[in-house]
Structure 1
Amino acid sequence: MVDIGLTHIALPVSNIEKSIEFYSTYAQMQVVHRRIDANAGVAVAWLSDNTRPFVIVLIQTQSVQPILSPFAHLGVGCKSREAMDILCDKARQEGILVEEPKDSGYPVGYWAFLRDPDGHTLELSYGQEIGLTVEKTANV
């Protein structure tokens, strides 16, 4: 099978293990590929939530200038408002909750911003209906 469409986003990270732990915890992602890049000699990991053919590519670098910050972000849909609140409570305790959860109504839904170990922003959300919106427009 040949990949078509948006397949990944690559993020520079300063500590690949901390970033893997963050995205495993807050985005329910797991490592699906890992290597030391032969040309650059740096650690690379692909993370997926296994819901679609899309990965976050983490590339360990010496220095990171946050690219997805403060408003640019990755977005992850949660299975329920309660599940999102549990993650936000954990993020609050860890000091990485940037924007408290708020309900912005349809189509934005319930959302919050977190900061990953390198300062990139991750949005947790519930009720955005992105999948349903895409499905509706694909059938037009």
Structure 2
Amino acid sequence: MAKDIGFTHIALSASNLDSSIAFYQRYANMSVMHERIDEEAGKRVVWLSDKTRPFVLVLVQNSQPVPILGPFAHLGVGCESRRAVDDLCDRARHEGILSKEATDSGDPVGYWAFINDPDGHILEISYGQEIGLAVEASEA
């Protein structure tokens, strides 16, 4: 059985969990892994994951969340191609939530853009950052 050690999650507040779940499904390919009502706080809690690693985004219902991820602090999601980044940017632009157009910053930053989630937290979508490769190379 795997142990939960290392960086396992980040928790954010959300005013409408269903809207936030739908956002992270569309833009980060995440789905609900766990859902409950926190008995002590009386708030709905969900854990979302893209199932690529043992890490979850925890969203906690809050009627007035303060967006702590912005204007620069952000969650980062790697995409499979530049075209995937462009497609997500097109969708976000159409929805009025694209906050930074796709930019090619070269190595090691890659091709990236910023999108606002329903509560103003920032999601970075990118291609070419190769963070996983950098981590693997450091272990060699």
TMscore range, shorter length: over 0.9
**Structure 1 residue 138: Cα displacement:** 1.4
**Structure 1 residue 54: Cα displacement:** 0.1
Q: Which runs of 5+ in 2 are unaligned?
A: none
* SS of structure 2 residue aligned to 1:9: strand
**Structure 1 residue 83: Cα displacement:** 1.1
Q: TM-score, normalised by structure 1?
A: 0.98
The 5 A counterparts of 1:4-19 are: 4-19=5-20
* SS of structure 2 residue aligned to 1:11: strand
Q: Deviation per CA, 1:36-68: give whole Å up to 9, x if none.
A: 111111110000000000000000012111100
Is it true that 1:28 corresponds to 2:22 in the alignment? no
2:74 corresponding residue in structure 1:
73
CA RMSD, Structure 1 to Structure 2 (Å): 0.6
Q: In structure 2, what is the Cα distance between the partners aligned to 1:110 and 1:22?
A: 21
The 5 A counterparts of 1:1-140 are: 1-139=2-140
How many positions carry a matched residue from both structures? 139
* SS of structure 1 residue aligned to 2:41: coil
Q: In structure 1, what is the Cα distance between the partners aligned to 2:117 and 2:28?
A: 11
Q: Which runs of 5+ in 1 are unaligned?
A: none
Q: In structure 1, what is the Cα distance between the partners aligned to 2:56 and 2:130?
A: 20
Q: In structure 1, what is the Cα distance between the partners aligned to 2:139 and 2:73?
A: 26
Q: In structure 1, what is the Cα distance between the partners aligned to 2:100 and 2:8?
A: 28
Letter in 2 for 1:31: V
Q: In structure 1, what is the Cα distance between the partners aligned to 2:133 and 2:53?
A: 15
Q: In structure 1, what is the Cα distance between the partners aligned to 2:125 and 2:84?
A: 10
Q: In structure 2, what is the Cα distance between the partners aligned to 1:13 and 1:98?
A: 19
* SS of structure 2 residue aligned to 1:19: helix
* SS of structure 2 residue aligned to 1:91: helix
* SS of structure 1 residue aligned to 2:132: helix
